[in-house]
Amino acid sequence: MKLTKILVLLVAAAMSVGCYEKYDDVSPAVVYDDGVFASQFPDSRRVTVAELKAMFGTISNTGVNSSWANTKYLQIEQDIYIKGKVTSDDEQGNIYKSLYVQDHTGGIEVKLTNGNYLRYRQGQWVYVRLQDLYLGNYRMMLSIGGAPTESYNKAGEHKYYANSNLENRITIAEHVFAGEQDELRTGSYDQWKADPMSVDIITVTPENYTSVLGKSVRESMFGRLIRFEGLTHRYAGVANEQGVTRPGLKSGSFENIYPSWLYTDPRPTVTKGWYHWAYSVNGKSLYGSMLFVYDTSAEYCSDAGVYSMRTSGYSRFAKRNAPRDNEKANITAIYGIYAQRSDYTGGANDYASYQLSVSRVEDVEFVNGDAALLTDAEVEELTTDDMRTVPWIDDDGEDLIGD
């Protein structure tokens, strides 16, 4: 009996040692550079982000997405790839299932799955092999993803998506290859114009925004990580801390209010004033919007120098108090657009909403620090019961549309 026990222990010990040896022999993950990538894919040809977007053509007035007839996408059949730096970070939950990649010519979203920050860090080089993927357009923003897909929203309407997320890790591994860690370099617009390779994050200011993000070049800037300096937080259609309510900003025949939450499932959609960065109450999560401007006299969302900063109700900073009216801020964000149609002229016939998407709460730097934010007492005094009530959702978080 003792001999049997001894033999069992010896076998177990041998197996344990074998397991550790096997674990120690695991090959390290490949870190791709130009040479490694070329040796693995010798026939693949590099294109810039700008060249990739040019294959799609202009995106002006192409964001309707109400049927397959007006949902625009392009399947990439050539063996081509882009190389760029990661500019997004989804760790704090505001960026979701997206990896933004940027080279010296522009930036673009790659639609993946969640937890991208565990594999792809800001500033890290990545190679994205594009063959068989789809270059798709949703509300005039281009992205790279899987095949087009469709679904129904909670209002019973059909939804059309020009491409889909690559959720499968094996599929992702076939298309996205992690390279060396680098840094993101911030510089002036003049520096970038002189040497695009030397600046990753272009700085926009009150003095240069009309030229850096002018009508003729605006499309090329969508998807880039940009530092906006000297923005002013603005209330519109919602009472500020002084009890003053300015008119909302017009978007065609609609009026947008800020700061606010937005519920997109019912028809018509519902938006109400809100004094936090997003709506996150009793397990209910909705996007919040705050308005930052260079042009404080602007009347339309589509005017130059007007930006909506959208925050997910699932982000870690959703419950943060909104800033006071007229507070100054510097914001580092992905620059984008949300529009069914726009020719970038602004005004009554332009339906563009230019959006800023931040990865981290630290990407919004107020000149007055935390003193720029409303106090809890101010938020409580300003918030009405109507603002706290989300229609069509009951106290248990169940959606009541159609009931």
- What integer pLDDT is reported at residue 393 of this predicted model? 63
pLDDT digits (tens, 9 = 90+) for 338-384: 999 899 999 998 999 999 999 999 999 999 999 999 999 999 999 99
**Across the chain, which distance is largest between two alpha carbons, in Å?**
91
234 with 357, same domain? yes
Tokens coding 266: 């019912």
Burial of residue 11 (CB within 10 Å: 0-12, 13-18, 19+) is exposed
143 with 201, same domain? no
- What integer pLDDT is reported at residue 333 of this predicted model? 98
- Judge whether residue 103 has pLDDT over 80: yes
Cβ-based neighbour number of residue 362 at 10 Å: 10
Of 194, 179, 140, which is closest to residue 162 (Cα–Cα)?
140
How many folded domains does the chain comprise?
2
- Higher pLDDT among residues 293 and 27, named by residue: 293
Residue 202 lies in a domain: yes
Residue 325 lies in a domain: yes
Of 83, 88, 123, which is closest to residue 104 (Cα–Cα)?
83
161 with 190, same domain? no
Boundary residue ending a domain (159, 178, 197): 178
Boundary residue ending a domain (178, 210, 225): 178
Residues, the chain: 403
User: Ranked by mean pLDDT, which of 2-6, 266-270, 301-305 comes out on top?
Assistant: 301-305
Of 317, 325, 341, which is closest to residue 137 (Cα–Cα)?
341
141 with 233, same domain? no
Please state which of the ranges 110-124, 207-221, 260-274 shows the lowest mean pLDDT: 260-274
Q: What is the mean pLDDT of residues 21-37?
A: 73
369 with 221, same domain? yes
Residue 209 lies in a domain: yes
Residue 157 lies in a domain: yes
278 with 195, same domain? yes
Q: How far is CA 383 from CA 59, 210, 308, 322, 388, in A?
A: 39, 36, 21, 12, 8
Query: In terms of residue numbers, what domain contains 335?
Result: 186-388
Of 189, 214, 219, which is closest to residue 201 (Cα–Cα)?
189
| Under 8 Å between Cβ of 285 and 279 | yes
pLDDT digits (tens, 9 = 90+) for 73-98: 999 999 999 999 999 999 999 999 99
230 with 113, same domain? no
Pairing of strands 158-161, 186-188: unpaired
Residue 400 lies in a domain: no
Place of tokens 């959702």: 393
Contacts of 308 (CB under 8 A, 6+ apart): 256, 258, 289, 290, 291, 292, 301, 353, 354, 355, 356
103 with 250, same domain? no
* CATH value at residue 98: 2.40.50
Of 158, 49, 177, which is closest to residue 101 (Cα–Cα)?
49
Place of tokens 């909670």: 154
Residue 123 lies in a domain: yes
- Higher pLDDT among residues 400 and 313, named by residue: 313
What DSSP character marks residue 298?
-
Tokens coding 302: 């589509």
pLDDT digits (tens, 9 = 90+) for 238-259: 999 999 999 999 997 789 999 9
Residue 7 lies in a domain: no
- Cα(116)–Cα(101) distance, rounded to whole angstroms? 12
